[in-house]
Amino acid sequence: MNNNNLVTRGGWKKIIDQIAGENATSGELWLQFFPAVLSAIALPYYSLINGIDWHIIQILFAGLLALDLVGGIITNATNTAKQWYHRPSQGFWQHFSFVTLHLVHIALVAWIFRGGDIIFWITVSIYLLMASTIILKTPLTLQRPVAMGCYTIVLLGNCYLFTPTLGLEWFLNLFFLKILISHLIQEKPIQQI
């Protein structure tokens, strides 16, 4: 595959290409979709057996959130997705647009699970935009360690800054892992044999 001339297919395959990258291998697709679907099923089940008092909207959204984050972490780490999301036509603004779309996740968690916690929403959103900008503006040779430093701040903040979101204690860790580490770090894809 020539990553300079990626062209997506038509129909339902185009949707897969837009998510997983063009010509994702069957192994990559299984790695991306199986754990994501399993997470979408397991999280609502976990909430029910542990007596977390969520209403149906919370249960459904938690399942979708698990699907998106687990799937996104794995997908964005694959060789094919790295080629797709970091192809030559994808610069700062394309990546920043991807990041800003994820502000909706933060807003919905703050509203649906944290009773409209505006401090959580604003603080996490500002940090996401700042850390993403720093990573995107960092020279490629330093991107990984800078992203790891930004992610370390998330881990500490999740432990010491906010009261955990009941049932979603993992949210910030997985959310920022998907964005800062899996998606934003540009890597040279390995040669497929």
Residue 48, domain extent:
14-183
Cα 132 → chain centroid? 12
Cα 182 → chain centroid? 7
For residue range 82-100, list pLDDT tens digits in order.
Answer: 888 888 899 999 999 999 9
In this predicted structure, the answer to whether residue 120 has a pLDDT above a threshold of 60 is yes
Q: Average of pLDDT values for 117-133?
A: 98
3-state secondary structure 1-36: CCHHHCCCCCCHHHHHHHHHCCCCCHHHHHHHHHHH
Confirm whether 193 is domain-assigned: no
Confirm whether 41 is domain-assigned: yes
Confirm whether 84 is domain-assigned: yes
Question: How much is the pLDDT for 96?
Answer: 96
Task: Specify the number of domains making up the chain.
Answer: 1
d(CA 162, CA 143): 27
Q: Average of pLDDT values for 154-162?
A: 95
Confirm whether 69 is domain-assigned: yes
Confirm whether 3 is domain-assigned: no
In this predicted structure, the answer to whether residue 5 has a pLDDT above a threshold of 60 is no
Confirm whether 7 is domain-assigned: no
Confirm whether 1 is domain-assigned: no
Confirm whether 56 is domain-assigned: yes
Question: How much is the pLDDT for 187?
Answer: 77
What pTM was computed for the model? Answer: 0.88
In this predicted structure, the answer to whether residue 121 has a pLDDT above a threshold of 50 is yes
> Residues 158, 109: contact at Cβ < 8 Å?
no
Question: How much is the pLDDT for 2?
Answer: 43
For residue range 52-75, list pLDDT tens digits in order.
Answer: 999 999 999 999 999 999 999 999
